Structure 1
């Protein structure tokens, strides 16, 4: 089942409203996924700073210990069960290595210059409320409401999944070759931490782009390499993308105005957006990559 949403703002004047609009879209998708929910928001970044979103542990204590261990500046913002650590970009690998050794119980849900990624078990409205989504601003964001039909209801299994800097993915559908593809990705040095097929899809795009493909090219390559059915919504540092498999059995609808591009599993999640009555509303075509970017 599952519900996926995405919002990419062309009009910068709307950025303070991003979180509130995305929260409303997520809540409408509750009956498609009441087990867990998550979202990624792309907010302003700072030169030379990497943001790491951590799930689990005491963020303030971890930040203080990290600053002392590596002799670096660490800023911490705690949001419920997650914390966002801002660290020097040049030290990100060292930070990750320290976290893996000192706090193996802590998961890094997302990392990059702009991304913050939060997810938890619970109703979408409650998850959005716990992390204060309605008060967040940014240029774009994606979200997911999960109905776990093939695996346990856990936070680790919730979407979005992030496997590369400022890159994340939400997925409605099912892949049949994810186990063999996971083994290939691990051999290529791509980090895959759960058994969820959606994380494999995210990691596949990370791999392709690491090898030099554009986001569009990576998505198009997936049409050949990913077996199953899928609708993907992808976020990157500067962009937003949608791709459906050639059969496109999962519902999807998009709306575009001069101010934004929006995606949802069902139109009712778009109905509350400003200017929706004048929007171009359409169903994304099968096997076509739709990509919007800011430069």
Structure 2
């Protein structure tokens, strides 16, 4: 088995952030959050990184990453677009953006033949998470035994608006029983009365701060491409008239678990997650990175 691959979801529109945050600078030498993820992945023993991007971003991404990563890790690119024929759907459906994160993963099906993990470009996961995922992908992963990193939702919030999280139900054995994508999680109230809620169909529900959530840090084998390809055509047909429908990654492990196809180990990590959803999040991320550098967790200049 070869070294695992890192699949980076970097095709998002960044509509709430207001710019192409995938390459925005957060470190002292203009390092992006992706740079820190790739640095951690290299240290953990990953052999390749594949970026999922919109094709119009290719020149920007290559200028940002190709030269500085040469000789350190293999780099490749896959494009998320509106061509459904690649996935067995012979029709054209007008949309303003592609079909979501699982659709993005499918876009890399011809680039990856080894165990791999999926991450978001704009989330900082920390070295411990990459080390533990690499160990799992090297030692434990099979087509029937995959994984995800489980974070406490209370450690993944933004003070500046809503976030989307895959909320997990975890078994006594530490496996995922189910994962449900919640796209509207936010703080409500102030001070001692502040709590975490999510909104579904205009109804608010409380969410325990210690609830385990997926931050789209999954450990897969290429078997997941087959499952996506099986499920995607029916999803498209069911949602052809819904321009906001998205084929989310958590729906795939959820389907596999409920149909006895695979277990998903929820891997605990001591890494602290932080990310950028809104412009107001940027100084917080910059400060967090500065603190990690001061502690010796990262060199001041990564590459």
- TM over 0.5, shorter chain: no
**TM-score, with structure 2 as normaliser:** 0.29
> Which has more strand, going by share of residues?
1
